[in-house]
Amino acid sequence: MTSPTLQPPIPVPDPDTAPYWEALKNGKLMLCRCDDTGKWIHPPLERSRYTGGPVHFEEVSGEGTVFSYIVVRQALVPGRTPPYVVGLIELAEQPGLRINAVIDADPADVRIGQQVTLRIADLGESGYRIPEFVLT
């Protein structure tokens, strides 16, 4: 008997995150932005954390810098073979605007302060996609 192939976890969108996941399905990284201040907000929220006012989703460049990272050495996520790097990426759009994502690189090559670029990866048959980054 063969065991089934383990699939990575599938996102479960809620009202705050649905536009984020839908944009990724369409090949774009769109983050929440405050209508009143223009400041970016991530993770997405229904109302601005700055003013309590309305927010909208807007595409970001996908350019960023490795703010911090860890090397995962144990099999924790189905579909991911260790070792792999999970980084906290500071996006170019705003100081402090950070997103967690896999950095597709040899762990020995990753350094804090390195420039990275977005790559959107498929999550198999689910139709979902996730942001990943590559070194530039």
What is the pTM assigned to this prediction? 0.91
CB within 8 Å of 16: residues ≥ 6 apart: 43, 44, 45, 46
Residue among 122, 120, 102, 118 at smallest CA distance from 110: 102
Q: What percent of the chain has pLDDT over 70?
A: 96
Residue 124: the pLDDT is 84
pLDDT tens per residue across span 88-97: 999 999 999 9
Q: CATH classification of 61-136 is 2.60.40, yes or no? A: no
Residue 92: the pLDDT is 98
Compute the distance between CA of residue 97 and CA of residue 58 in angstroms, rounded to an integer: 14
Residue 9: the pLDDT is 85
The CATH 2.40.50 portion of the chain extends over 61-136
**Contact present, 67 and 79 (Cβ < 8 Å):** no
pLDDT tens per residue across span 80-90: 899 999 999 99
Taking residue 57's Cβ as centre, other Cβ atoms within 10 Å add up to: 16
- Average pLDDT (57-62) is 98
